[in-house]
């Protein structure tokens, strides 16, 4: 009920301004011990993936809390795990505003944020202050490259971030699929991806020895891939023994939002219109991976049934972002309850 009232206010404001106010408000509610006003807790439904034990299989996708400013507040919403970022080695402002648009009638969002964040060191300061990871909560950290780092030097940025976040993260996600950083998706090509994964896995092995723990590495991919590209990526994930893959990021397609206000804005489309495309990629990945690399499904989850669809397609866990904007913590609980009934 409280979120329904808050949403009316948020949706009357500019989308990015509402986003900032929402994060600050959630953090304030948690600090005041009033998070319970946002809704009932999600049920316990433990699942083991990537060697980690998740209290339930519903997570927060990266992008909503880029700088880790509201980790404890988000954790109180019932998520089984959280993913913060995308974070880059150096702070950067992102793309010019406006850069975030709601398409309410389609339960969709278009963004061209451009990895706006305060840098990896600032994120780690916030993580150190949060209680959630100290209490055993699963916190993924999503890493990317700075916009002005040449694409041929992109691996350097990922390695810098991996080195810095390794000890603090439950798992690390390598984001090569945002459409809002120039040429980033070129890293999904066979040769570029092969080289990047090789360097990352070598660094992971070195850091595991240094810190005395194995921090899983997941790769986040785009939905705008043909069958040959999906197969090639799956082959490399298996070859390099990646710990997980997140499918999918936002799409460049505008199917489902044609003729809508903001429907032609540049950027990545998320929410309900990307649901089917994301599920198709998950299904094809599951076939190609043959169970060797677990899939985290994300894209267009706005109901418990949508979450179940991702699991049935082959995902082991799910994440939500746009659905949380539209439905709030009720969606987290509904998705978790649905997946618990499925035995997931």
Q: How many CB atoms lie within 10 A of CB 28?
A: 12
Partner residues linked to 4 by β-bridges? none
Q: How many CB atoms lie within 10 A of CB 124?
A: 18
Beta strand pairing status for 268-271 and 108-111?
antiparallel
Computed from CA positions of residues 66, 69, 73, 78, in that sequence, does the dihedral angle turn out positive or negative? positive
Partner residues linked to 249 by β-bridges? none
Is 178 catalytic? The answer is: yes
Largest CA distance in the chain: 54
- Residue 76 has, within 13 A of its CA and on its CB side, a CA count of 21
C-alpha distance from residue 10 to each of 17, 106, 259, 325 (Å):
9, 17, 24, 10
Which two structure tokens, joined as six digits, stand for 94? 């992102």
**3: helix, coil or strand?**
helix
Residue of 35, 178, 270, 278 marked catalytic? 178
HEC assignment per residue over 294-335: CEEEECCCCCHHHHHHHHHHCCCEEEECHHHHHHCHHHHHHH
Helices marked H in the chain = 2-10, 15-31, 71-75, 120-129, 154-165, 190-211, 227-239, 275-289, 304-313, 322-327, 329-341
Q: Which residues are catalytic?
A: 178
């Amino acid at each position: 009920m409280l979120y329904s009232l808050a949403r009316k206010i948020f949706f009357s404001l500019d989308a990015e301004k509402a986003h900032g106010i929402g994060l600050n408000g959630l953090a304030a509610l948690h600090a005041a011990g009033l998070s319970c006003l946002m809704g009932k807790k999600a049920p316990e439904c433990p699942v083991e993936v990537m060697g980690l034990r998740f209290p339930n299989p519903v997570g927060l996708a990266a992008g909503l809390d880029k700088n880790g400013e509201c980790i404890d507040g988000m954790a109180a919403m019932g998520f089984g795990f959280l993913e913060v970022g995308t974070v880059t080695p150096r702070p950067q402002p992102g793309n010019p505003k406006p850069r975030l648009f709601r398409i309410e009638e389609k339960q969709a969002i278009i963004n061209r944020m451009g990895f706006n964040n305060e840098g990896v060191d600032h994120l780690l300061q916030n993580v150190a202050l949060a209680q959630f990871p100290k209490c055993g909560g699963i916190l993924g950290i999503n890493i990317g490259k700075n916009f002005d780092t040449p694409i041929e030097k992109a691996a350097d940025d990922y390695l810098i971030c991996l080195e810095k976040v390794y000890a603090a993260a439950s798992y690390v996600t390598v984001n090569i699929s945002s459409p809002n950083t120039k040429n980033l998706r070129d890293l999904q090509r066979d040769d570029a991806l092969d080289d990047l994964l090789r360097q990352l896995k070598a660094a992971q092995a070195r850091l595991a020895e240094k810190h005395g723990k194995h921090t899983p590495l997941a790769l986040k991919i785009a939905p705008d891939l043909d069958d040959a590209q999906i197969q090639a990526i799956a082959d490399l994930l298996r070859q390099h023994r990646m710990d997980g893959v997140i499918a999918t990021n936002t799409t460049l397609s505008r199917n489902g939002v044609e003729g809508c206000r903001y429907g032609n804005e540049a950027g990545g489309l998320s929410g309900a219109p990307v649901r089917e495309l994301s599920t198709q990629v998950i299904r094809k990945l599951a076939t190609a991976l043959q169970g060797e690399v677990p899939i985290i499904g994300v894209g267009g989850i706005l109901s418990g049934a949508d979450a179940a669809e991702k699991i049935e397609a082959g995902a082991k866990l799910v994440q939500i972002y746009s659905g949380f904007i539209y439905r709030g913590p009720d969606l987290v609980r509904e998705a978790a309850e649905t997946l618990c009934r499925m035995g997931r």
